[in-house]
């Protein structure tokens, strides 16, 4: 009786052995795909971080541009005030002040965006 079961047991063990080998082979072949998925995910995350960083940098530059604009207009107003003060007090306007005024006017003529 045992000898009658022995071929069936060996057949069953061989089939199980083949199933384990097929599973291991499938896992072995799937390993490069898993590695690539992990690497692609890491690269996508890094690209997202870089884009976010660039966006923050662009916002900062836009803010800096607005600050520069306000400062330039403030300086121009101070120069105009000083020139007007000198004229009302009948004092001579310094050459440096006139040059600063001319330089700013030239700057605005070249950069009409401001």
Give the residue among 67, 99, 72, 71 at the shortest CA–CA distance from 83: 99
Average pLDDT per block of 10 residues along the chain, 114 residues long: 80 91 86 83 91 78 82 88 88 87 84 64
- For residue 90, the model assigns a pLDDT of 87
- What is 69-104 written as a DSSP string? HHHHHHHHHHHHHHHHHHHHTT-PPPHHHHHHHHHH
Tokens of 72: 């330039």
- Cβ pair 83, 93 in contact under 8 A: yes
The model's pTM: 0.46
The domain segmentation of the chain, as residue ranges, is: 2-110
């Amino acid at each position: 009786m045992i000898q009658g079961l022995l071929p069936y047991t060996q057949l069953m063990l061989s089939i199980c052995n083949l199933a384990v080998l097929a599973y291991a082979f499938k896992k072995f072949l799937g390993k490069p795909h898993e590695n690539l998925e992990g690497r692609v995910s890491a690269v996508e995350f890094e690209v997202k971080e870089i884009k976010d960083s660039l966006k923050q940098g662009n916002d900062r530059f836009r803010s800096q541009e607005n600050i520069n604009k306000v400062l330039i207009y403030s300086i121009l107003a101070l120069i105009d005030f000083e020139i007007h003060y000198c004229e009302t007090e009948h004092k001579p306007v310094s050459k440096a002040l006139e040059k600063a005024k001319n330089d700013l006017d030239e700057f605005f003529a070249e950069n009409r965006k401001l």
